[in-house]
Amino acid sequence: MYRGFWVLLLGMLTGASTMAQDNTGIAGKWYGTFKRYYGDKYRMVVELEKDGAGYKGNVAFPDLSDNETFELETVVYRKDTLLLRIDGLRFAYTGVRDPVTQQFIGISSFGDEEARVDLGRKEITKADLYKRPQEPKPPYPYYTEEVRFNNIKDSVSIAGTFTRPAAMGKYPVVVMISGSGPQNRDGEMAGHKLFLVLADYFARNGIASLRYDDRGEGNSTGDYDSATVYDFAHDVSTAMGYLKKRKDVDPLSIGLLGHSEGAIVAQIVAANNQGVAFVISMAGIGVNGRQLIDQQMAIRQSMAGRSDSFILADRQRMKAYWDVLAGDSDIAVIRPQAETIIRELYRSSDEIVKKEMTEDEMVRNARLSPEAISMLRYNPLTYLKQIKCPFMAISGTKDIQVDATTNLNAIQRGLTENGNMLVTIRKFDGLNHMFQRCKTCTANEYGELEQTIDPLVPEFIAHWILQLP
């Protein structure tokens, strides 16, 4: 909603550095925080210096790149309004100086994302970004080991951390599988290290765990962007093979814990696999990927106050696009079809949408990765009916990404209708997709909440594992 205003102002200005009315000097460093959709925060440091009658400078994002700075192509300061731009990064900032706080109150766009960013003189450290009271700090009262195992099939080398109680012994072990998007071994999102917190709790309660960097992330090799959920399943199978060779692991008690998309991967690996001792599905799906899309759109629009008639009309509007992608045709064949549909949708959109983004930007934003398409085409029933081991499925009632009731019911049906009676289903009241006790329960609140996971959840999981025969 602010981008049109920014473009209008920028159209009045030319050159990398423009004449400015320097009401009060702004040379020096300015610090702000860019907040992304899920609540991830990145520090932004702008450094300005006088350049004739105007200013020049650079911007840095220390949490994305430690030492790299980027020269600002446009710096304009006029009547307490600051405008910055780097076309190559698709970076822009527009802020108005507040006479009381002496901060610039503004909006920044970076790539396809946009957020409010207030720039002030006080330095922001990494520790200032988040408060995470549940995150364990060394020295740990248990054993940890940096490990590596190789997925020969896909030529991928996976790096991770093995954790177990301090005393030597053969322990049940949990392989942790992260959700969508490249994540490190701690399952880090919005400053929360979910898998680190879980590993800590498990080790303190007699359970070992293996968590690892996704392929192409952290110290693992491979290309995440070209992978599907079935490729991630190969990585998990490799992890299990590695664990079976360890002397401190009970080879008959190797289980899988998957969060969100990771729960899909766990289903794939556990299907008709006697080597999987148990499965824990955290916010996993039971409906197929095409149904999930409709569910997610309806939940988000309902939370935004949209009427049922609007939600239904929007679903019909997007139906052709999702149906094309969810089909079984080769991706290379359907991409042009999907792009044509998106362009038609853009051209029929109202002017507000067109001011927010260009047609090409909408096409680019709508383009799905192999990972996303594999999820869209995924049918849980195919795999659930082949799983015979003990299976726990848990969800939060305030989850806006994977509806708890619909998906838990579908998971239970898929397992029990084919004879698996070792099924535990649990809804946690008031918890979101990350299993945090939430307030607004929207996705952009994840990073604002100090709680990484409600303590009842790891307690429930550990008790269930330890009571298994």
Token pair, residue 146, equals 């940096």
Low-confidence ranges of the chain (pLDDT < 70): 1-24
Q: Rounded distance, CA 30 to CA 47, Å?
A: 6
Last residue of a domain, one of 374, 394, 429: 374
Same domain, residue pair 195 and 275: yes
Same domain, residue pair 295 and 269: no
Give domain status of residue 136, yes or no. no
Last residue of a domain, one of 329, 359, 374: 374
Give domain status of residue 453, yes or no. yes
What Cα–Cα distance (Å) separates residue 422 from each residue in 121, 387, 416, 435?
Answer: 58, 10, 8, 23
CB neighbours (10 Å) of residue 8? 10
Same domain, residue pair 322 and 394: no
Give domain status of residue 137, yes or no. no
- Across 72-170, the runs of DSSP E, i.e. the strands, are 74-78, 81-86, 91-97, 104-110, 113-119, 142-151, 156-165
Strand-pair category, 69-71 with 54-60: antiparallel
Same domain, residue pair 349 and 265: no
Same domain, residue pair 277 and 216: yes
Q: What is the CATH number of the domain that holds 184?
A: 3.40.50.1820
pLDDT digits (tens, 9 = 90+) for 369-379: 999 999 999 99
Give domain status of residue 397, yes or no. yes
Same domain, residue pair 328 and 281: no
Same domain, residue pair 219 and 153: yes
Query: If we measure between CA atoms, which residue out of 275, 301, 298, 276 comes closest to residue 287?
Result: 298
Q: Please, what is the angle between helix 359-366 and helix 331-347, to 10°? A: 140
Token pair, residue 25, equals 């000097």
Report the pLDDT value the prediction gives residue 19, as an integer from 0 to 100: 35
Give domain status of residue 444, yes or no. yes
Its pTM stands at 0.87
Report the pLDDT value the prediction gives residue 234, as an integer from 0 to 100: 98
Instruction: Please give the residue range of the domain that contains residue 358.
Output: 290-374
Q: Looking at the 3D structure of the chain, how many domains does it have? A: 3
